[in-house]
Amino acid sequence: MSELSHVDREGRARMVDVSAKADTARIAVAAGELQTTAEVVRLVRADDMPKADVLSTARIAGINGAKKTSELIPLCHQLALSSVTVNFGFTDTTITIEASAKTKGPTGVEMEALTAVAVAGLTLHDMVKAVDPAATLNGVRLITKEGGKHGHWVRPEAEVHHGEHQRRHEKHEKTAAATTPLAGAGRTATVVVASTGVAAGSREDTTGPALTEWLNAQGFSVRGPLVFADADIAFGLADALSTEPDLVISTGGTGASPTDATPEATLALLDRELPGVADAIRQAGTAKFPLAALSRGVAGLAGRTVIVNLPGSPGGVKDGMAVLTPLLEHLLAQVAGGGSHE
């Protein structure tokens, strides 16, 4: 498109007429991050800020912001949103924000997802400013959208990871030095964490970042970790699949507790199971820790996406990574229609 859609031929602002467009399911995912201090990250993760319940407040603010987008952005249409989610992650000095918005209608929900990220980020800023008045909201951007005439769109990989030029450069150097191709080179992956405590901010997520780091080292472009309470894991997995990645790895919710629902949510999405992969992960864990046999994690294919459940423990994730490392290249090549069958 070479013309601005919200400006008419006389150069005047206008609301686009979408009455002739068909209603389709539309999804948009946006992201951003609050750059702050290690102290603030520690306080937020421990929920020790002077204004308590930081993440829950920011999440509700982001959802409310998405619902009010048409009031805040003057040329946006009013939409009947079917779902809005806001999730947070952490690095040493940032709080990452990811929001998704869904609707069925004649126009997209990109602005709603972006507004959710912006409002959630500004709410975080308000709640941490007493400790870090210099906190900065960065990189509010659209990650993916689907639906409508243009179908599926994903932000070019070179732009997805805001401020990560150095990481990509280092990854390129490691790839060039490698003697064998990386399993994830040119591929996408999403990490999903099932943990009610992490979602509430009362526990530290150690497994999600470990998986993200490992997948980056394998050459994948990684989305996440996306953190969901155990009760919301079905939605979390559906959200992970919405961008049609090559690989989805979940961690947590695979045990025998009444709240552990990851295997059931995964099975509902699978077209075909890969029982050997799940069994190999269990066997690797059981050899070191007998209770690993209690994991009910499954693996399989949802379309052309490979989904693998890993336990929620650091040891279980480490065992899973060890099993998957030699399998991924061949598995993903076969799913894509290539690879040797011998």
- Residue 135, classed as helix, strand or coil, is coil
- For residue 180, which phi and psi values (nearest 5 degrees)? -130, 155
Q: Is the pLDDT of residue 152 over 90?
A: no
Please report the pLDDT score of residue 118 as a whole number.
96
Most confident residue range from 40-49, 176-185, 261-270, 282-291: 261-270
The confidence band for 162, taking pLDDT boundaries of 50, 70 and 90, is very low
Please report the pLDDT score of residue 308 as a whole number.
96
Please report the pLDDT score of residue 218 as a whole number.
85
Tokens of 85: 């989610």
- Residue 56 near residue 201 (C-beta atoms within 8 A): yes
The confidence band for 340, taking pLDDT boundaries of 50, 70 and 90, is low
Q: b or e along 271-289 (b: 16 or more beta carbons within 10 Å of the residue's beta carbon)?
A: eeebeebbebbbebbeeee
Other beta carbons within 10 angstroms of residue 291's beta carbon come to 12
Q: Is the pLDDT of residue 181 over 60?
A: no
R_g (Cα) of the chain, nearest Å: 21
Residue range 149-154: average pLDDT?
68
Q: Is the pLDDT of residue 256 over 70?
A: yes
Active-site position among 53, 126, 232, 260: 126
Least confident span in 5-9, 61-65, 152-156, 330-334: 5-9
pTM, two decimals, is 0.52
The confidence band for 187, taking pLDDT boundaries of 50, 70 and 90, is confident
Tokens of 105: 């209608």
Q: C-alpha distances in angstroms, 211 versus 120, 208, 337? A: 26, 5, 26
Q: Regarding predicted confidence, which is higher, 203 or 117?
A: 117
Most confident residue range from 182-186, 247-251, 335-339: 247-251
Among the listed residues 99, 83, 110, the one whose alpha carbon sits nearest the alpha carbon of residue 32: 99
Residue range 224-228: average pLDDT?
89
Residue range 44-63: average pLDDT?
78
Helix 165-177 vs helix 207-217: crossing angle, to nearest 10: 50
Q: Is 126 part of the annotated catalytic residue set?
A: yes
Mean pLDDT (the chain) is 82
Please report the pLDDT score of residue 179 as a whole number.
39
